[in-house]
Chain A
Amino acid sequence: AQTVTQSQPEMSVQEAETVTLSCTYDTSESDYYLFWYKQPPSRQMILVIRQEAYKQQNATENRFSVNFQKAAKSFSLKISDSQLGDAAMYFCAHDSNYQLIWGAGTKLIIKP
């Protein structure tokens, strides 16, 4: 079965510091995508970053970057220069059979 595991229910970081959120997944597919979504208190679901499995280069979007380890089936999200607006639930997701399989989420707290 396809699964996505986020082992950190909650993380906290000092404003302006760097934090890494962990995600592991299980799949038998060779071609797939991985995503990180952010859900702030407003409950909107916002795409943060995506990674194509066939690309060896790690994706980067401004202060957000990923560490994609395909063999280990690991997909962590690094947030640099953390800002108060980064406080949210972060979900890791993997696409399989026309649907997204979601992790349970990590609540990120930013300390001012």
Chain B
Amino acid sequence: DSGVTQTPKHLITATGQRVTLRCSPRSGDLSVYWYQQSLDQGLQFLIQYYNGEERAKGNILERFSAQQFPDLHSELNLSSLELGDSALYFCASSVELRPQHFGDGTRLSIL
């Protein structure tokens, strides 16, 4: 158990819809990272927050947004969903930067 909690584990929805993925970091970790893993591919960094503030942004679409709340949990919002958004979405956390411990991921399926 990495101590990083992601909910829900599975999410099935339709194109055009909006979903919210939630992440609770390990106790004491201030940084939260979001990654996307499409089928049979490596991970793509989306965005990082540190103590409530956005610190780095990767290949995140404009339809996607995220935030980190005062209690340090984070949410990733995906809107106007397309078939290509089907993927495994990972949250990771760390005290500063290294190492990064991962949650079990949320598997998003777009029908």
Chain B contacts for A45, CB-based, 8 A? 43, 90, 92, 102, 105
Chain B proximity of A42: nearest CB distance (Å): 8
Pick out which of these stretches binds chain B: A19-27, A69-77, A78-86, A99-107: A99-107
Chain A proximity of B30: nearest CB distance (Å): 12
In this complex, the interface size class of chain B, counting residues with CB under 8 Å from chain A, is 20 to 34
B101 on interface, CB distance cutoff 8 Å:
yes
Cross-interface CB contact of A47 among B43, B99, B104, cutoff 8 Å: B99
Chain A contacts for B97, CB-based, 8 A? 33, 95, 98
Q: Is the interface of A mostly helix, strand, loop or mixed?
A: strand
| A99–B33 touching, CB < 8 Å | yes
A62 on interface, CB distance cutoff 8 Å:
no
A91 on interface, CB distance cutoff 8 Å:
yes
Chain A proximity of B3: nearest CB distance (Å): 12
| A99–B42 touching, CB < 8 Å | no
Cross-interface CB contact of B105 among A43, A99, A105, cutoff 8 Å: A43
Chain B contacts for A104, CB-based, 8 A? 41-42
Chain B proximity of A45: nearest CB distance (Å): 4
- Contacts A43-B88, A45-B90 given; indicate if A100 touches B43 (C-beta within 8 A): yes
Residues of chain A at the chain B interface (Cβ within 8 Å): 33, 35, 37, 43-47, 50, 91, 95, 97-105
Can you identify 7 A-B contacts, CB atoms within 8 angstroms?
A43-B107, A45-B92, A46-B2, A47-B101, A47-B102, A98-B50, A103-B42
Residues of chain B at the chain A interface (Cβ within 8 Å): 2, 31, 33, 35, 37, 41-43, 45, 48, 50, 55-56, 58, 88, 90, 92, 97-102, 104-105, 107
